[in-house]
């Protein structure tokens, strides 16, 4: 385990705290700047595209197969994050999977409250089907809030009678808005996620809405018939039980769901992949899972 690598990353991050009394735009600019210097994968092309209800970055590695597509939904609590903040993850996923990766810029809260992000995410999947991508050539992926969107999109596609993707991969998905999982209370030293942050994000996206509504979280959904799914989470995460519980529920519904818990890793450690061995390992394993299940 690369404890020294992670310690150095967290120490550096602590020297660049978010601005005080920040507006949403200020917070988004801060995180964009904080991630802008991270090196993306080599030999890739990034094209800006219109993908149904929104725009996004379409990433294709040199020599990659553009007949296969991974839709990667970025994290950020539905409040910040973008196709740019997640280029490290998305570009390396494209490189390792050898196919195209689309990162849509869905609408963000509080300007666009629930279920705007979920509606956009489902709309992007519908767009991909309309472009001729077959179910066996499509995969859904995402981290944190994006993991919620990826799984929610698969569930919604099933309920709408649409063809399902060939695979789903989730990294530290945020699914439990009630904060009932044991890790929400047990992991008190999470270096990334605090209960105060979660409360703020929930307020911005859900307001006083139902925290268990299927319109905003697939945590309580019927998973029967969903495609093979891989979930990665760290031991050092307040959201750890979100992953453990959802995999248990998926397996109970007959889904081929895999769970890997990375010892000592914090929330969405994949963002630090160029400097963190476990970050790149998680991306590589997700890519291998996708390759194994796409035509």
Per-residue pLDDT at 2: 81
Structural domain range at position 226: 3-293
Q: What is the pLDDT of residues 222-254, one digit of tens each?
A: 999 999 999 999 999 999 999 999 999 999 999
Contacts 24+ apart (CB under 8 A), 13-18: none
Catalytic residue set? 144, 237, 267
Residue 283 has pLDDT above 80, yes or no: yes
Number of domains making up the chain: 1
Length of the chain: 295
Residue 95 has pLDDT above 70, yes or no: yes
Note the helical H segments in 46-177: 87-97, 116-130, 145-159
Q: What is the pLDDT of residues 141-176, one digit of tens each?
A: 999 999 999 999 999 999 999 999 999 999 999 999
Residue 118, helix vs strand vs coil: helix
Per-residue pLDDT at 3: 83
Mean pLDDT of the chain: 97
Q: What is the pLDDT of residues 49-78, one digit of tens each?
A: 999 999 999 999 999 999 999 999 999 999
Percent of the chain's residues with pLDDT above 70: 100
Alpha carbon distances (Å) from 279 to 82, 222, 233, 273: 19, 31, 11, 4
Per-residue pLDDT at 37: 86
Please give the helix or strand (H or E) that residue 31 lies within, else none.
Answer: helix 24-35
Per-residue pLDDT at 235: 98
Alpha carbon distances (Å) from 106 to 74, 75, 217, 270: 9, 11, 16, 21
Residue 290 has pLDDT above 70, yes or no: yes
For range 37-53, the mean pLDDT:
96
Per-residue pLDDT at 116: 98
- CATH number of the domain bearing residue 276: 3.40.50.1820
3-state helix, strand, coil in the chain (%, to 5): 40, 20, 40
Per-residue pLDDT at 1: 59
Cα torsion angle, 234, 230, 272, 238, sign: negative
Among residues 211, 217, 115, 212, the alpha carbon closest in space to that of 173 is found at 217
């Amino acid at each position: 385990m690369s404890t020294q690598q992670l310690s150095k990353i967290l120490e550096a991050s602590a020297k660049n705290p978010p601005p005080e009394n920040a507006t949403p735009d200020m917070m988004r600019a801060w995180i964009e700047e904080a991630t802008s210097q991270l090196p993306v994968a080599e030999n890739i092309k990034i094209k800006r595209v219109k993908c149904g209800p929104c725009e996004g970055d379409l990433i294709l590695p040199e020599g990659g197969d553009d007949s296969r597509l991974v839709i990667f939904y970025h994290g950020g609590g539905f409040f910040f994050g973008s196709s740019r903040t997640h280029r490290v993850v998305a570009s390396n996923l494209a490189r390792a999977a050898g196919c195209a990766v689309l990162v849509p810029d869905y609408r963000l809260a509080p300007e666009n409250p629930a279920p705007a992000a979920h509606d956009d995410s489902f709309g992007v999947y519908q767009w991909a089907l309309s472009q001729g991508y077959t179910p066996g050539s499509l995969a859904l992926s995402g981290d944190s809030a994006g993991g919620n969107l990826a799984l929610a999109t698969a569930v919604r596609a099933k309920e709408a009678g649409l063809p399902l993707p060939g695979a789903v991969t989730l990294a530290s998905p945020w699914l439990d808005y009630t904060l009932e999982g044991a890790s929400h209370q047990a992991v008190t030293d999470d270096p990334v996620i605090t209960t105060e942050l979660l409360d703020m994000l929930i307020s911005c996206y859900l307001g006083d809405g139902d925290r268990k509504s299927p319109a905003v979280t697939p945590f309580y959904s019927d998973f029967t018939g969903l495609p093979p799914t891989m979930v990665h989470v760290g031991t050092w995460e307040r959201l750890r039980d979100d992953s453990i519980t959802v995999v248990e529920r998926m397996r109970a519904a007959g889904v081929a769901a895999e769970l890997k818990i990375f010892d000592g890793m914090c929330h969405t450690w994949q963002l630090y992949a160029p400097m963190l061995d476990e970050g790149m390992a998680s991306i590589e394993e997700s890519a291998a899972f996708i390759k194994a299940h796409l035509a």
